[in-house]
Structure 1
Amino acid sequence: MKKVKVCLCAVLLSAVLFASCSNGSSSGNDDSSFPEQLLSYVGDETYKSPKNASVEDAKHQSTGLEDGWWNDTAFYHIWVKSFCDSNNDGCGDFNGIKSKLDYIKNDLGCDGIWLSPIFECDYKSKSPSGNMHGYDVKDYYAVNSYFGTEDDLLSLIDACHEQGIKIIFDFVPNHTGKGNAWFTDSCEGGNKKDWYVWNNSKLNWNPGMGSSNTWHKNPNGNDYYYAAFWEGQPDLNFRNYEVRKEMKNVVRYWLNKGFDGLRVDAVRYLIETENSFVDTPETHAWFNELRTEVIDSYKEISPKFMVCEAWIENNRSALDAYFGSEQKPEFNMVLDFDQGRGCYNSIYKSDSRILTSMLYKNPSEIKAYGTFIGNHDEYMGRIASWFGGYSAEIKLISAMSLLCPTVPFIYYGNEIGMQEGNYNGDLRLRTKLNWTDVEQQRNDDSSILSLNKALLALRKEYPSLFKNGTVKELKSNTVNNETKNPLYTVAAYTISDGKDTLLCVFSLKNVSDNKFWFDCSDLDISSYSVLVGVNNKKNLSLVYSSIEVESIAPYETRVYYIGDDTKEMLFTDKRLFLRGDMNSWGYNEMLYDSEKRCFDLWYKLDPDSYQFKFDAYCDRTLSYGSGEENIDGKSVSLGETMQTSTEEGKNTNFLFTPSSSASGTYRFTFYEDDNTFVITQE
């Protein structure tokens, strides 16, 4: 059912050509490696862009937005090339996105869209195996012609606003493509010579992305230009007043077209100093200018926001620095690269302490963390591939990401458990969305898509709780009976805003343990409802000072509303397990076929007599039943359709003896509509 898991870290540390960003680290360098002239500010301080944009010219704007709207928005991250192709030319486009807004808003539940780079770029390919990432901008004022026209884009923006969907664009300020006219002029020694970072000799600069080969020969001269990522993406010189003004104008130009905000790429690398290549005070100062001079100037028209990609892990203070200060604000939101990895590792290592240590909440009602479980980069890959397509684990990590008081970002395809394509590097993460799979999951109320929809609806029902609720970990009191050591295979925490309280429980391992205890004597569980789980059975109780949780399925997510027993269940995860003396009464999960509405399991049996039962609740009771066991011991013949007990409180054990004298593989099929099953030989 699941493929062998590979060490995630090895893949994440690999360098990838054309990457738009990387987890750079601060690196010092001596004075001899940083020529003094590179510290000088140049350019015309009175410069105005030929495309000069004024906030008074804003059109196509969202209406009715309040400042801080981004704090309770769920964003859908679209890789435009691969999302939806409206004209069958092999490439996704603006009109394709427009045609799927109903899916994004109503079938999934996101009310914000982040578009991957949409501007004209150097490398363009409609082929799935051809790279077209867009982080090599050729013209910041022109849209990628493969995606459509500017009118098509404006039509998309208007359609988003009509449906109450906010839309943001990907902005790449650190570097351009080599094909950009600015760079061509700079190489030729024209008026834009100082728009890029040049030196007469090749320097040994390493911004922390694995290579010091960051200075490259001028194709039209004898000097060298700096390119932190690779030679095809030359760095702009933000010590040039003209560059600073031009890049602010780019943002203003597109906000005037109706975009509600922007995601800013690779923010750490704008301005280097003699002491560091990343996160420098000068870099922070420019983003403060962008915030105060551009973003905040739209507050009275239609409030905008910007979120940064500062790929920083395990250094919360460095990440939080990109919020700026009250006196010098920078970003409204920062993307959090810790939480996604924490979710994955808590499952991979079956350790609840990893998850609960990563549960950062939004810093305030005007500052937010954007959380996600994979994106277009070599960050975590497609989670479905890491888990071998096993839907229970995919649902589990999806729920972990959505059940915290932060702002969720869902990368296209992750909402259906899309797996990686058969390509090298990050191309495998950017393959076409299979709309047939989407349609199948729309019609399956226990699918990965349905879980995402239910949890996004939950977030909308309790906006205050998920905007800035308080997270409290429930520490495990469960002990391994053999080793007497604490068990951390189930994680639990509460989220509360003083009015509403949710208890979230996550099973992190395929174990047959039936009860778990958590230290939380101050949680009143006298009244509660089950909102998410494999069933709505009441399985919480107070034992001395501990909360006891019973009958949690392997890799199950359970969400309880505390204080009200009348809430309706939002999502039921249809799962069925085969137990028997052939597996020591452990769990063997059956695969669900939503079209045939049945569960299947193939099992190799030796010649013998076996006793078995079906279990949907992981408490050894009959599928869709409850209560104490009732061992009937009915015999089953090969190919015979059998009726399981449907009487409340009854359970049925069956006896089966393989017909062959040799070992063989047998198929157990359980039909959910009438609670019948049949055993056939493969």
Structure 2
Amino acid sequence: MSRNRLFSSLALALSLALGAGTTPASAADAPSAHAANVQPSGVYYEIFVRAWYDTNGDGIGDLNGVTAKLDYLKNLGISGIWLMPINSSPSYHGYDITDYYGINPQYGTTADLEKLVAEAHKRGIAVTMDMVINHTGNTHPWFVAAQNPNDTHRDWYSWTSTKPDLKALSATDTPIWHAGSDGWYIGVFGGHMPDLNYDNPAVRAEMIKVGQYWLGKGVDGFRLDAAKHIYVDFKSDVHSEKALEKNVQWWTEYREALQKTNPKVTLVGEVSATSPKELAPYLKPLGSIFDFPLAEQLIVSAKGEKAGKLGQLLKDTYDAYKVAGDAPHIDSTFLSNHDQERVMSRLNGNVDHMRMAAAMLLTLPGRPYLYYGEELGMEGKKPDENLREPMRWQREAGPGESRWKPSSVNQGQAVSVQAEQDDPNSLYNTYRTLISWRAQNSALRDGDLTVLATGKPNLVAYWRNDGKQKLLVVHNLSGKDAVWKPKADLLPRDATVLMTTKTQATLDNGSLTLPAYSTVVLH
């Protein structure tokens, strides 16, 4: 179905599914009306500040703009935000930092950040900063000083005075050596982003100091950029046990040091991987990592309307995580981020497929992350700038809208906060419903996972159980109605439909009828 159609018909059955206090908000900034006894959803939201909301009229989103839209996030049900890099940087994206203790002046000041943190905390929203810890920008004073072979900062980076193999590749399949003053240095992500040398105790001490500084400003934690590339530099390091061991040792040291400042510090590592076994070793030192293999499979399953390898991947993931250690492990799940083609583009604008991808994401264990605008169905394909376009707040662009770049897609007025909040059947309200389910049901938020074989390729089913509540989640990924009769001993005799995205879903004499593209939760 084309995204140009406004929205497919979806009866959200809000009164049945959500209970009181959760009807769609009529305005972006209306105060939240969630019941006092509802727990946080645990859902986080990634924000590119430049693209979010502009409060000073320069067309660039700013920290005060994030503060201004906290009630939008609260109404959506968000428990935490991840701010893409906000430190001083010469680039639009901010991943080449020139001052770890400064705020990009286009975004505001340290005082603006402290105000944002304080206002977020009033609303029960945690604030996570992007910590670009693997490398600096090449105009950072440390690297400028490192051009002098006799300066103490020379050893803050990895240099060689002997001409290296300039054809050697990094772990990201890019040239790894770059010419500097009187030698060559390592830059996994390009010459403008020289890698820090973590074999140098001074570097370790300084980066711990940076983290402690921002925790002291009230920030709750950090998303750790390129977490595996601290020591996985060369292509030959990708499967190196030694490099892995050194990474784990460093991240353990980092976490333990930050916990002295804030025992509840939240860390989540960006560890690009294709299998759960590659991710698992980072769980114990970091506590949480982004689940790239699961993100890919969720999109594949939604697009193909078949479970495919999803069930086996989920089993393999949590089996691998159990072996990883006894520390609390949080699987940070997501569908896409600032480096990846937006989900709606990958799904060719199919809103039904987008709803199902969201439904699976938000009923699985872990800490789900949403990329800003995902709840609206924003599209975007490479290059990277087109993945990070302005958030659309009003049907017609007006004051407050970021203008940092023009849109590369023509989605029209329908893909805006204003339009979707006014439409009870919108994708936004689907997300709001699913997030509210998670907030109101401890099993969906905190429970473990047991995958069930349904015998039907279009159905995905799993138990969620936290010891206090046990729920059976069933998704019909297809465009056709489905009937599933579980084994007699699977459901208790008094099982009922607790929540559903479509009112036509029924459970009758042990037989579950699921409308096309629907999710049902039984208890």
2:141 aligns with 181
User: What's the CA shift for 1:415?
Assistant: 1.1
Q: Secondary structure at the match of 1:216?
A: strand
Name the residue aligned to 1:474: 452
**Residues 517, 341 of structure 1: alpha-carbon distance in 2 compared, 3 angstrom cutoff:** farther
1:530/1:536 contact within 8 Å kept: no
Q: Secondary structure at the match of 2:278?
A: helix
Kindly indicate whether residue 205 of structure 2 is the aligned counterpart of residue 227 of structure 1: no
Aligned with 1:539 (options 495, 507, 514): 507
Residue matched to 2:292: 337
- Cα drift, residue 458 of structure 1: 1.5
1:407 alignment counterpart: 367
C-alpha displacement at 1:517, in angstroms? 4.2
Give the corresponding residue for 1:429.
Answer: 387
* 1:94 equivalent in structure 2: 63
Structure-1 residue corresponding to 2:152 = 191
Tell me the residue number matched to 1:481.
none
How is 1:347-366 mapped onto 2 (pairs within 5 angstroms)?
A: 347-359=302-314, 360=317, 366=328
Shift of 1:319: 0.9
Q: Could you tell me how far apart the structure 2 residues matched to 1:164 and 1:188 are?
A: 48
Query: Displacement of 1:198 after TM fit?
Result: 0.3
What is the letter of the counterpart of residue 179 of structure 2?
Answer: K
Q: Report the residue type matching 2:306 in the other structure.
A: D
What is the deviation of 1:191? 2.4
> How far did 1:71 drift?
10
Q: Does 1:507 align with 2:473?
A: no
CA contact (8 A) 1:490 1:507 kept: yes
Name the counterpart of 2:170.
Answer: 207
1:304 correspondence with 2:272: no
Once the two structures are TM-superposed, the CA of residue 521 in structure 1 deviates from its matched residue by: 3.0
Equivalent in the alignment of 1:460: 439
User: Larger helix proportion, structure 1 or 2?
Assistant: 2
Distance, in Å, in 2 between the alignment partners of 1:516 and 1:522 is 12
**Cα distance, 1:96 vs. partner?**
0.5
Q: 1:273 deviation in Å?
A: 8.6
Deviations 1:413-468 (A, max 9, x none): 001111127xx4121110001112112211222221112112212112123x1344
For residues 570-600 of structure 1, give each alpha carbon's deviation from its aligned partner in whole angstroms, at most 9, with x where no partner exists: xxxxxxxxxxxxxxxxxxxxxxxxxxxxxxx
Identical positions, percent: 29
Please give the secondary structure, in 2, of the residue aligned with 1:192.
helix
Task: Classify the secondary structure of the residue corresponding to 2:64.
Answer: helix
Match of 1:616 in 2: none
State the structure with bigger RCO (CA 8 A, min sep 6), 1 or 2: 2
Structure 2 distance, partners of 1:516, 1:536, is 14
Partner of 1:55: none
Deviations 1:619-667 (A, max 9, x none): xxxxxxxxxxxxxxxxxxxxxxxxxxxxxxxxxxxxxxxxxxxxxxxxx
Q: Following superposition of structure 1 onto structure 2, how do residues 525-604 of structure 1 map, counting pairs within 5 Å?
A: 525-535=493-503, 537-542=505-510, 548-550=511-513, 552-554=514-516, 556-562=517-523
Q: Secondary structure at the match of 2:463?
A: strand
**Structure 1 SS opposite 2:418:** helix
Bigger CA drift: 450-459 or 230-239?
A: 450-459
Aligned amino acid, residue 172 of structure 2: M
CA contact (8 A) 1:530 1:558 kept: no
Residue 110 of structure 1: aligned partner: 78
Following superposition, the deviation at residue 388 of structure 1 comes to 3.0
Alpha carbons 1:530, 1:537 under 8 Å: kept: no
Amino acid at match of 1:84: Y
Length-normalised TM-score, structure 2: 0.82
1:195 Cα offset (Å)? 0.8
Q: CA deviation at 1:296?
A: 4.2
- What code does the residue aligned with 2:468 have? K
Greater percentage in strand? 1
One of 274, 279, 298 as aligned partner of 1:313: 274
Q: Closer, same or farther in 2 for the Cα pair 1:210/1:518, shift >3 Å? A: farther
Measured against aligned partners, the alpha-carbon deviations of 1:337-371 in whole angstroms (never above 9, x if no partner) come to 12111111112333224222233558578220100
Contact 1:342–1:355 (Cα < 8 Å) also in 2: yes
- The whole-number CA distance in structure 1 between the counterparts of 2:364 and 2:62 is 33
Equivalences for residues 152-167 of structure 1 within 5 A: 152-167=112-127
Q: 1:539 deviation in Å?
A: 3.5
Which one has a bigger Cα radius of gyration?
1
- Is the Cα–Cα contact under 8 Å of residues 345 and 354 in structure 1 kept in the other structure? no
Match of 2:457 among 488, 495, 504: 488
Q: CA 1:136/1:399 → structure 2, altered by over 3 Å: closer, same or farther?
A: same
| 1:244 match: secondary structure | helix
Three-state SS of the structure 1 residue aligned to 2:417 is helix
- Flag the 1:254–1:198 CA change in 2: closer, same or farther, 3 A: same
Measure how far apart 1:502 and its partner are. Answer: 2.2
Check 1:334–1:496 CA distance in 2 against 1; reply closer, same or farther (3 A cut).
same
**Within 2, Cα distance between the matches of 1:151 and 1:527?**
53
Secondary structure in 2 matching 1:434:
coil
Which string of whole-angstrom CA distances, capped at 9 and with x for unpartnered residues, describes residues 223-268 of structure 1?
A: 1011111111111111111111111111011110110011101011
Q: Does 1:450 align with 2:425?
A: no
Unmatched runs of 5 consecutive residues or more in structure 2: 4-38, 395-415
- Mark the CA change 1:312 to 1:519 in structure 2 (over 3 Å): closer, same or farther: farther
In structure 2, relative to structure 1, the CA distance for the partners of 1:373 and 1:188 (3 Å cut) is: same
Which amino acid in 2 is paired with 1:373? L
Query: Cα gap change, 1:174/1:365 in structure 2, threshold over 3 Å: closer, same or farther?
Result: closer
Q: Is the 8 A contact 2:42 2:445 kept in 1?
A: no
Specify every segment of 5 or more residues in structure 1 that has no aligned partner in the other structure, as ranges.
Answer: 4-69, 124-131, 325-329, 478-486, 543-547, 563-682
After TM superposition, give the deviation of residue 88 of structure 1 in Å: 2.1
Aligned: 1:137 with 2:97: yes
Please give the alpha-carbon distance, in whole angstroms, between the structure 2 residues aligned to 1:284 and 1:459: 32
- The answer to whether the 8 A contact 2:45-2:370 is kept is yes
TM-score of the superposed pair, with normalisation by structure 1:
0.63
Going from structure 1 to structure 2, the CA distance change for 1:508 and 1:231 (only over 3 Å counts) comes to same
The 2-side partners of 1:386 and 1:312 are apart by 20
The answer to whether the 8 A contact 1:413-1:433 is kept is yes
> 1:375 aligned to 2:343?
no
2:63·2:113 contact (CA, 8 Å) conserved in 1? yes
Cα distance in 2, alignment partners of residues 113 and 323 from structure 1? 21
SS at match of 1:174: coil
CA contact (8 A) 2:88 2:99 kept: yes
